Amino acid sequence: MTRKVVKSEDEWRRELTPMEYQVLRQAGTERPGTGELLHEEREGIYRCRACGAELFRSTTKFDSHCGWPSFYAPSDSDAVELIEDRSLGMRRVEVLCAACGSHLGHVFPDAPQTPTGDRYCMNSVSLTFEEGDDAGAGAAGGAGEG
C-alpha cells in the first residue's frame, strides 16, 4: 500500500508528543475514559493527529460507553486501512490511517444500535477535532436557470 505521507520514525518522534507517538506509531492505547474527545459532541470533522487526513465526521460518532470515542463508519472507506491484529491472544481488526499508516484504534462488530453495526473504537490522542458544520460540502451545483 502506498502512503501519501511517509516520514521516518525520528521525524514522527520530533513532531508528536510522547503519548501521541506511543499510540500512533507504536500501536499503544490510551487509558479508557481519559480521552479529550470522548465527550466531544459538537459537529465537525475528526482528523488524523499525525498527518491531518480526514477520518471521521461527528455525524457517525455515538456513545458506546466503552471509554473511547466511537464511530460507526469512517468519512470515506478509503480513509482508513483495516488489518488483522492477533496480538494479546485475540483476533481483532486494527484501524490505521490510510494516508500515513498511523495506529488509530480497533473496529469491533458489536454495535447493533448503529446503522452499520460497527464500533470504530478510537484513541482520542490519535485524532484532532475541527469544529464546523457540513454546510458548503456537497450539494453544490443545480443552478436552475430556465
CA separation for the pair 59, 36 (Å, rounded): 18
| CB of residue 146 to Zn ion, shortest distance in Å | 46
Is residue 79 close enough to count as binding Zn ion by CB under 5 A?
Answer: no
Q: How many CB atoms lie within 10 A of CB 22?
A: 17
Is residue 24 close enough to count as binding Zn ion by CB under 5 A?
Answer: no
Q: Which stretch binds Zn ion (CB under 5 A): 7-15, 53-61, 76-84, 109-117?
A: 53-61
How would DSSP label each residue in 68-107?
A: S-EESS-SSTTTEEEEEE-GGGS-EEEEEETTT--EEEEE
Nearer to Zn ion, 97 or 122 (CB): 97
Here the cell at position 16 is: 508528536
Nearer to Zn ion, 60 or 102 (CB): 102
> Contacting Zn ion (CB under 5 A), which of 16, 45, 79, 100?
100
Is residue 48 close enough to count as binding Zn ion by CB under 5 A?
Answer: yes
Nearer to Zn ion, 53 or 122 (CB): 53
Q: Reduce the DSSP state of residue 136 to 3 states and report it.
A: coil
Catalytic residue annotation: 121
Helices (H) and strands (E) in the chain, counts: 2, 9
Instruction: State the residues that interact with Zn ion by CB under 5 A.
Output: 48, 50-51, 53, 97, 99-100, 102
